[in-house]
Amino acid sequence: MIHINQERCTGCKTCVNVCPHQVLELKNKKAKIAHEARCIECGACRLNCRENAVTVEKGTGCLFVIIKEDILGFKKDACTCG
């Protein structure tokens, strides 16, 4: 599970830019989770956030979604593994 502390987030967009699977987006000058099912828990967003606003906990990652979307071409957020 990813969590973004909205109080700490300054909207620098670094986490959005470093995420390899377009999980995050910037909305109203704050980082938001747009496609959580695509997260592979690589931790890049957390490591690169200078404000320590991002938390990444095990349990979110779903490589199956990446395979379905990027390799097989299914639509985004098609996770069915529960």
Task: Assess 62 for contact with ligand SF4 (CB under 6 A).
Answer: no
Q: What angle do CA 32, 35, 39 make, to 5 degrees?
A: 100
Binder of ligand SF4 out of 1, 3, 27, 43 (CB under 6 A): 43
Task: Assess 44 for contact with ligand SF4 (CB under 6 A).
Answer: yes
Task: Assess 25 for contact with ligand SF4 (CB under 6 A).
Answer: no
Contact 54, 6 (CB under 8 A): no
Helix (H) / strand (E) containing 54: strand 54-56
Binder of ligand SF4 out of 1, 3, 10, 55 (CB under 6 A): 10
